[in-house]
Structure 1
Amino acid sequence: MNHSEHNYPLSSIFTEGFFRFLLFILLFISLLYQQKNLILISILLLVMFYGLKFWSTFSVKNIHYSFDAEKKKGFPGESIVLQAVVFNNKLLPIGLKLKIPLDKKLHPFLDSSPADCLCEEGNLLWYDRSSWQWKLTAQQRGCFQIGPPFLETGDLLGFFQQRRYLSQSVEMIIYPKPIFLNFLSSPVKELFGKPGLESPVKDPVYPVATQDYSYGDPAKYIHWKASARHNRLQSKVFEPSSQRKTLFIIDVSSFQKKEDKDLFEKTLEVVAAMAMEFERQGSPYGLLSNGEMVGNGSASLSIATGPEQLSRAMELIARLQMKTAVSIEEILFKEDVMPGGTGCIYSSCTHNKKNTQIAQFLRQHHIPVYFMTARVPRRFIDHSIKFFLLDEIHGGGS
């Protein structure tokens, strides 16, 4: 595999206009003085030049390609396999160079040096096909673009090339590094209850049986598989629940102000691990942040549970950048982002006055909150704020 720049000079003096001008001058002088050998050489060179030019012009026609990855989501350190196939669907053989621009944070497998391009070259005969495969690894969380690739085709001698940009590109989503969690009993017990019969509210997260459908029951509670089995409409019977829903809030501005990328990544690893743990327990959860997203998406995820919820949460965390899009107060104070019965885990770099204001605001709305911070100032004495340190819950890599 060869890594080089995206643009490089053409390979011969035959491509220079000044040289072509000299050939015509040579031919004119040869004809003027009737030098047969020079006339023959001049004509052969001009025929060769324009023949190769014509060859190069048509080399880019009827080229079919495919470019994709075996998987587009993964974790740091995992190998990602890219595949590219190019088919020359014509009688004219061609020279070929394939280049795929690459994010510098992606590394060719077993190659620690960064590369900004994957490059391959060769020749394709008539109706010939070539395929290539690369293994890449990403050592950190993020959203990375591979491509779009471009082809440079030309004559087999390499005198002329035609560049063709391909529209297809691949977006690679790398989740935070998997870690173990040292779960603290207090946040888990206080923020997350368990299903019970104490509440008269039906919780659609916990269907426990079915019964004959009654007129007036919501259509969304119909159990279609059970209805097919019994040959009549069946509706779900739900267990009342006192389980609290959870919203993870990530204050990007606190990390950006401290310019601490490592603590930001460590916090996201904990949030991702907690989301996976809550998904395993069946606890509804959501995400909210004031950070910018790769791809200009929304840094918010409604509270829910299920495999799709986990996939959306992990992708949101992967796309989140340590750049503030809006103040967290503007999101919390002006938008109704938290339904009733919600508990919060608020992640920030350190405690400050803003945390106290947010805690007071949430308490006014009867929303319990725990703060997960990397640092606590020595002068911090507000005992009404419940918090735990990032290092207390971060259990290290899995």
Structure 2
Amino acid sequence: MNWHRTIKVIFSMQLLIAAAVLFFISLYQHKPILILLTFLILLVIAIPHLYLKRMSNTLHLENREQQVKLFKDQNDIMTFTLANRSRLPIFSGKMLFSIQDNIMFDDIKQEGGTKKRNQFSFRYNLAGKKKADFSFQVRGLSRGVGRVSGINLTVRDLLGLGTLQMKYDPFFHTEVIVFPELRAVGGLHYLKKFEQGAQPMQFSLFEDLTASIGSRDYAPGDPFNRIHWKASAKSTQLQTKQFEKTTGMEWMFVLHLSRERTDLSNKSDDLERNISSIAYMCKYATARGVPYSIFVNIKVRGRDFIMQLKPGEGRNQLSKALELLARINFNSITVTQEMLFAYVDRVMFRPPVVILFNCGRQEQEVRYYQKWEKKGAALFDVEHNDDASYITKASGKREAVS
């Protein structure tokens, strides 16, 4: 039930008519040779049809989950697995499929395509009762997700008289994820908040009392419970314990995807710059142990309501972030900016560093900015020019633009 199957044998109708004419002529003229010729014509029609009918029920395409993850201009391997469950071999087969145009195969023939998708094909043969992997080099051209669809398998019989066409109906669980490019952002050292936390920092009002880094000479006013008695006994002078300076910091990226129909090409370019900037900042935060989250006003199914990455840190979080950014589509269904902010406000338990992308300064947005600043959040924007991006301070105290 996974396939739409069509079997065609060339000149089958003409050959059937010819066989019928020869059969009636042989009956009237009593020529056995014509009956034998009729039988041969029927075999020419029947054998390819029976062979292709058998192949249509025994040729199997494996549909296991397969994700290929790469950056732009990076290559990796994609594999298709075909199995022939019949004892009869497949002498001549062809597989045709389509994928988004941000993906390219360098070692497969391109058959053409549409505005957003390209078609590729490759030929194969399979011995009886055999399974084979067909692996190809796939290359990412631009950020996005490429999904394989429009799969068609073609099988020909040995004489080339018959053709089996099989169109695959189910969703094919293979996709190629091309991560965004990293666009450097200047001024990231401004993204700080001073509160109790775990991130090491040279100058901070807070300390991690579980991370001792040594001792120093006792000074008037040092707490009595911080005297390092062992060090004092060795040096014969009072010593005070020193602890690592830390601060609390969490970054929250809020990306507003505008669906206004004015100047869409520029909006698409701005979106790519924003996504590339977020990718760079995620990598920067990962290297420094800073947890971060991402919120985008793209509507998704389920309890989360909007596209988001919950707070986390480390390499696993970076991988999730890059995948989420790759999946952002300019034509996705979106929610309003006010709905995005209302959701962010609802989940903002610990005041983070909020980095805003393409977020407006209308009265309803400024109201949220002021509320977040009262909670203790620090607000920043990212601005772009042709060559660079950089951090600027955002403030809920700005007047709304009418």
Q: Do the two structures share a fold, i.e. TM-score over 0.5?
A: yes
1:172 and 2:176 equivalent? yes
Summarize the Cα distance change of 1:384–1:82 in structure 2 as closer, same or farther, 3 Å threshold.
closer
Structure 1 residue matching 2:191: 3-state secondary structure: helix
2:68 corresponds to: 72
For each residue in 1:60-83, what CA deviation from the matched residue of structure 2 results, as whole angstroms up to 9, or x when unmatched? 344455577986111111113222
Structure 1 residue corresponding to 2:106, chosen from 109, 114, 133: 109
1:31 and 2:27 equivalent? yes
- CA distance in structure 2 between the partners assigned to 1:299 and 1:247 by the alignment: 13
Q: Higher mean Cα deviation, 41-50 or 362-371?
A: 362-371
Contact 2:5-2:165 within 8 A present in 1 as well: no
Write the letter of the residue equivalent to 1:299: M
Structure 2 residue matching 1:321: 3-state secondary structure: coil
- CA distance in structure 1 between the partners assigned to 2:120 and 2:285 by the alignment: 40
Structure 1 residue corresponding to 2:166, chosen from 149, 163, 166: 163
2:191 corresponds to: 188
Number of residue-to-residue matches in the alignment: 341
Summarize the Cα distance change of 1:30–1:373 in structure 2 as closer, same or farther, 3 Å threshold.
farther
- CA distance in structure 1 between the partners assigned to 2:86 and 2:337 by the alignment: 59
Structure 2 residue corresponding to 1:251, chosen from 240, 247, 256: 256
Structure 2 residue corresponding to 1:121, chosen from 106, 115, 123: 123
Can you give the 5+ residue segments of structure 2 that lack an aligned partner in the other structure?
213-242, 386-392
Structure 1 residue matching 2:284: 3-state secondary structure: helix
- CA distance in structure 1 between the partners assigned to 2:305 and 2:154 by the alignment: 35
Summarize the Cα distance change of 1:281–1:123 in structure 2 as closer, same or farther, 3 Å threshold.
closer
Structure 2 residue corresponding to 1:310, chosen from 303, 314, 318: 318
Aligned pairs for 1:369-380 within 5 A: 369-374=379-384
Structure 1 residue matching 2:27: 3-state secondary structure: helix
Contact 2:5-2:56 within 8 A present in 1 as well: no
- CA distance in structure 2 between the partners assigned to 1:112 and 1:297 by the alignment: 41
Aligned pairs for 1:225-264 within 5 A: 241-253=246-258, 258-259=263-264, 260-264=267-271
For each residue in 1:172-227, what CA deviation from the matched residue of structure 2 results, as whole angstroms up to 9, or x when unmatched? 21110133333354x32458995478459x8xxx9749xxxxxxxxxxxxxxxxxx
Structure 1 residue matching 2:184: 3-state secondary structure: strand
Q: Normalised by the size of structure 2, how large is the TM-score?
A: 0.70
Give 1:333 deviation, angstroms. 2.7
- CA distance in structure 2 between the partners assigned to 1:257 and 1:112 by the alignment: 38
- CA distance in structure 1 between the partners assigned to 2:34 and 2:60 by the alignment: 43
- CA distance in structure 2 between the partners assigned to 1:207 and 1:53 by the alignment: 78
Can you give the 5+ residue segments of structure 1 that lack an aligned partner in the other structure?
1-5, 210-237, 376-381, 388-398
1:13 corresponds to: 11
Give 1:365 deviation, angstroms. 3.3
Aligned pairs for 1:193-342 within 5 A: 194-195=199-200, 198-199=205-206, 208=211, 241-253=246-258, 258-259=263-264, 260-292=267-299, 298-322=306-330, 323-333=332-342, 335-342=345-352
Structure 1 residue corresponding to 2:355, chosen from 342, 345, 369: 345
Contact 2:7-2:52 within 8 A present in 1 as well: no
Contact 1:286-1:303 within 8 A present in 2 as well: yes
- CA distance in structure 2 between the partners assigned to 1:127 and 1:327 by the alignment: 56
Summarize the Cα distance change of 1:155–1:124 in structure 2 as closer, same or farther, 3 Å threshold.
same
- CA distance in structure 1 between the partners assigned to 2:362 and 2:142 by the alignment: 29
Contact 1:72-1:173 within 8 A present in 2 as well: yes
- CA distance in structure 1 between the partners assigned to 2:44 and 2:346 by the alignment: 74
Q: Which has the greater radius of gyration?
A: 2
Structure 2 residue matching 1:252: 3-state secondary structure: coil
